[in-house]
A and B are shown apart, each in its own frame.
Chain A
Amino acid sequence: MDAANFKEIASAIAIGLGAIGPGVGIGLLAGKALEAVGRNPEASGKIQSMMILAIAFAEAIAIYALVVALIIKFV
Chain B
Amino acid sequence: MHISLVPETLGHIGSFIVTNTLLTSWVVMLVLIVLAFWAGRKPKLIPSKKQNIFEFIVETILNFFEEVWGDKEKARKYFAFLATFFLFILVSNWFGLIPGVGTIGFREDEELVPFMRSLNSDLNATVAWAIISVIATQIAGFVALGVKKHLGKFFNFKSPIDFFVGILELISEISKLISFSFRLFGNVFAGEVLLMVMMFLVPYILPLPFFMLEMFVGLIQALVFTTLTLVFLKMATEHH
Q: Is the interface of B mostly helix, strand, loop or mixed?
A: helix
B178-197 vs A, Cβ < 8 Å mask (1 yes, 0 no): 01001101110110010000
Residues of A within 8 A of B182 (CB): 60, 63-64, 67
Q: How far is the CA of A45 from the CA of B68 in the complex (A)?
A: 10
Instruction: Give the interface centre of A45, A46, A53, A63 by most chain B CB atoms within 10 Å.
Output: A63
Interface size on A, residues (CB 8 A): 16
Range of interface residues on B (Cβ < 8 Å): 20 to 34
Residues of B within 8 A of A10 (CB): none
| Contact status of A53 and B227, CB under 8 A, knowing A64-B182, A67-B182 | yes
Cβ of B186 and Cβ of A67 under 8 Å apart? Answer: yes
* Nearest chain B CB to A25 CB, angstrom units: 15
B5, CB-defined interface residue at 8 Å: yes
Cβ of A74 and Cβ of B190 under 8 Å apart? Answer: no
* Nearest chain B CB to A51 CB, angstrom units: 12
Closest to B6 in A: A75
Closest to B193 in A: A70
B48, CB-defined interface residue at 8 Å: no
Residues of B within 8 A of A53 (CB): 224, 227-228, 231
B220, CB-defined interface residue at 8 Å: yes
Residues of B within 8 A of A (CB): 3-5, 67-68, 179, 182-183, 185-187, 189-190, 193, 220-221, 223-224, 227-228, 231
Cβ of B220 and Cβ of A67 under 8 Å apart? Answer: no
Cβ of A49 and Cβ of B185 under 8 Å apart? Answer: no
Q: How far is the CA of A64 from the CA of B227 in the complex (A)?
A: 20
* Nearest chain B CB to A2 CB, angstrom units: 24
Residues of A within 8 A of B (CB): 45-46, 49, 52-53, 56, 59-60, 63-64, 66-67, 70-71, 74-75
Q: Is the interface of A mostly helix, strand, loop or mixed?
A: helix
Cβ of B224 and Cβ of A56 under 8 Å apart? Answer: yes
Cβ of A67 and Cβ of B185 under 8 Å apart? Answer: yes
Q: How far is the CA of A63 from the CA of B186 in the complex (A)?
A: 5
* Nearest chain B CB to A58 CB, angstrom units: 11
Residues of A within 8 A of B190 (CB): 63, 66-67, 70
Cβ of B223 and Cβ of A52 under 8 Å apart? Answer: yes
| Contact status of A56 and B4, CB under 8 A, knowing A49-B67, A49-B68, A70-B189 | no
Cβ of A66 and Cβ of B186 under 8 Å apart? Answer: yes
Cβ of A52 and Cβ of B189 under 8 Å apart? Answer: no
Q: Which of B3, B183, B185, B189 contacts A56 (CB 8 A)?
A: B183
Cβ of A60 and Cβ of B179 under 8 Å apart? Answer: yes
Cβ of A71 and Cβ of B220 under 8 Å apart? Answer: no
Residues of A within 8 A of B189 (CB): 67, 70
21 inter-chain pairs at a CB distance below 8 angstroms, sorted by A residue, are A49-B227, A52-B223, A52-B224, A53-B224, A53-B231, A59-B183, A60-B183, A63-B183, A63-B186, A64-B182, A64-B186, A66-B186, A67-B182, A67-B185, A67-B186, A67-B189, A67-B190, A71-B5, A74-B4, A74-B5, A75-B5
